[in-house]
Structure 1
Amino acid sequence: AASAQINALKYTDSARMSTQASFIAYDMLDRMRANATGDYRFSGVDVATSTSTSSVAGIVGQDLSDFKRNIRAFGGENARGVISVSDRQVSINIYWDDSRAEKKDAAFQSFTLTGYLADQQAARKP
């Protein structure tokens, strides 16, 4: 019974991490959609470790800074967030270490969210 309880706690924590990753990814996608005129044209940038994103100014810079902070608060130093934008399609990937649930070292899990941004020409019309 004790073993079953311990395993239940491990898997509950793993599910919580997956849920939190989805919240972070959806938050970033919503921010990108809300700022339809923002320049989010980068591809495959590891936001958690990239220094190039820290020089981005304005709302886009704030969004990337918050995304990075949320990932670090959620998954620690080993967590990563990668955002890819191609035309209007966005892919947000979040990776974290889930060694505790997997019972082995460096057992990374991931969450991927794919969505679309509004047409920027349509967003600029009054």
Structure 2
Amino acid sequence: MLSSGIKQQRGVGLIEVLVTVLILATSLLAMGALQSRSLQFNHSAYLRSQANVMAYDILDRMRINQGQLGSYDHGLEDTKPGTGGGLASRDLNEWLTAVERTLPGGKGAVDCADRVCTVTLEWIEQDSLADSEEAPDEEQETTTFTYETRI
């Protein structure tokens, strides 16, 4: 009687091992996906920090040159000013060059009215860049950072 019970359970150990391997593989895939998303969110936070530093940079430059606040007005789609038009033009040129180097697809804008200045930075999210290479006709996801202060 004992030997017939053993024969009926033949191969059960292999099925248990296969189920365990399936559960382990699924868990490892989920952990990999979680790690990937974590890296994407971390990079997005890094870009926001860089945008904050960039906004403070141009605002500090404008505080130094308060007499020429109107000369700092610049739209997102405007061309980068040359370096020969005075301190404001040189500041904007250096700042926009730094924005382009630091933020992927980065653009910057400055608007001052009644000593209240708004700095707008726009860039393309990295995961959107990867998607655009696969489907270039789709619009890329941009992030906009706006900072407003009184000078």
Is TM (by shorter chain) over 0.5?
A: yes
**Gapped runs of 5+ residues in structure 2?**
1-30, 133-139
Residue 81 of structure 1 aligns to a residue in which SS?
A: strand
Higher Rg of the two aligned structures: 2
Relative to its length, the structure with more strand (as a share) is: 1
CA distance in 1, matches of 2:74, 2:66: 20
Residue 57 of structure 1 aligns to a residue in which SS?
A: coil
Aligned to 2:93: 65
* CA positional deviation for 1:38: 2.2
Q: Percent identity?
A: 21
**Gapped runs of 5+ residues in structure 1?**
118-126
**Deviation string, structure 1 residues 2-33 (Cα, Å, up to 9, x no partner):** 11111110000000000000100111011101
Higher relative contact order (CA 8 A, sep 6+): 1
RMSD of aligned Cα (Å): 2.4
- How many residues are treated as equivalent by the alignment? 114
The structure 1 segments of at least 4 consecutive aligned residues displaced by more than 4 Å after TM superposition are 41-44, 101-105
Shift in alpha-carbon separation, 1:102–1:15, aligned structure 2, 3 A: farther
The TM-score normalised by the length of structure 2 is 0.66
The TM-score normalised by the length of structure 1 is 0.78
CA distance in 2, matches of 1:55, 1:91: 22
Relative to its length, the structure with more helix (as a share) is: 2
Aligned to 2:24: none
Question: Which residue, out of 24, 42, 50, partners 2:79?
Answer: 50
